[in-house]
Amino acid sequence: MVEVEKALRNSLGLYRKNPAFVLPHLIETVLTLLVFLSTAVTVVMAIGVHFSDALLEEDPTLFISQIASAGMGLITIIILSFLFTLFLSALIKAGAIAGVVGMAKKGFNGEKASLGSGFVATKKYTVDILLFWIFIGLIYSASMVLAFVPSVVISALGMPEGLVLGATILMFLLLFIPGVVFYVLIMFAPQFIVVEGRGMLAGVKKSITFVKENPGAVLIYIAIVFIFSFFVFGGLGILSLLPDLFRNASPFIATALDILFFILRLSVGIIIAPYFEIVKTWMIAEERTEPVTG
């Protein structure tokens, strides 16, 4: 029987003894920002190459004609850049989660949760966790496509636009709850992939079994994460409105506050994310009677 209170307490103790738990998500954040920055520069440069004449001459007619001439070439560059950014971001996130869970795995065994053990786990399990993210992405993408099927059919039959919109909204609502339930069932898969050295599909199956056997503990964990996130990030969201009070009187102060709150939100996310990954690791490890190996 999983005791969430025990998992929360033990995870906090492990986290406090090993501040290095922060480093995988810190590295993830820095690399992800660099990836998004690189993508933004690539897209801007592509647009600049295609529309340089129109931008220099400030001619709207020329700008429109160059958009038409750019055609699929520019669109392809933008789409590929976006997909490559998503792939790299997922890869980096998978590595960070593998590192944190690998460190927590050592801590559960009574060993030192060193950064070195995190790097070992990152090398061994990043691909499996990446496949897990891709699996989720494909499932939800298919669900999005499915949500538009009734509206496409209704539209093809020449029915009113209001009915098309209503069918789309209804399908999204019908798919939303199963989508949430599906994610809850598989949310512990990365932990099983690393802790038990299982592949992606085996990790998903183990996660589903774990959630079915411990629904109360899982719901309590989700409630705690939701309440904590609501108050912490909700509070930061309210604080981030403060710069607007200075926007007209002092743009410099407003900009400085914008930067400050942006850094604060990033810092809180970097600090909080490892803790909940450790808690999930302790939750699945608590039922094990044999030491975790590997």
Would the pTM count as exceeding 0.85? no
Enumerate residues 6+ apart whose C-beta is below 8 A from 171: 146, 147, 148, 149, 150, 151
Closest to 5 (Cα-Cα) out of 285, 279, 231 = 279
Q: What Cα–Cα distance (Å) separates residue 279 from each residue in 65, 215, 217, 234?
A: 56, 16, 12, 22
The C-alpha atoms of residue 166 and residue 150 are separated, in whole angstroms, by: 10
Angle CA 140–145–147, to nearest 5: 90
- What are the residues whose beta carbons fall under 8 Å from the beta carbon of 46, sequence distance 6 or more? 74, 77, 78, 81
Nearest Cα residue to 187 out of 294, 293, 283: 283
**pLDDT recorded at residue 129:** 96
Q: How many beta carbons lie within 10 A of that of residue 80, not counting itself?
A: 11
Distance of CA 282 to the CA centre of its chain: 21
Cα 145 to Cα 8: distance, rounded to the nearest angstrom: 39
Angle at CA 91, nearest 5°, toward 8 and 41?
Answer: 120
Q: How many CA atoms lie within 13 A of 44 on its CB side?
A: 6
Q: Which two tokens stand for residue 282?
A: 């302790």
CB 278, CB 14: distance < 8 Å = yes
Q: Which two tokens stand for residue 248?
A: 């007209």
Q: Where are the alpha helices (DSSP H) in the chain?
A: 4-17, 22-57, 60-108, 115-156, 161-186, 189-195, 200-213, 215-239, 243-246, 251-285
Whether residue 279 contacts residue 95, with contact meaning beta carbons closer than 8 Å, is answered with no
Tokens 């920055």 sit on residue:
37
pLDDT tens digits for range 238-265:
888 888 887 777 888 888 888 998 899 8
**Rounded distance between C-alpha atoms, residue 79 and residue 63, angstroms:** 21
Q: Are 233 and 268 within 8 A, CB to CB?
A: yes
Tens-digit pLDDT profile for the chain (294 aa)?
A: 688 889 999 999 999 999 899 999 999 999 999 999 998 888 777 766 655 554 455 555 555 555 555 556 667 778 888 889 999 999 999 999 999 999 999 888 888 888 899 999 999 999 999 999 999 989 988 888 887 787 777 777 777 777 777 877 888 888 888 889 999 999 999 999 999 988 999 999 999 999 999 999 999 999 999 999 999 988 888 888 888 887 777 888 888 888 998 899 899 999 999 999 999 999 998 765 444 444
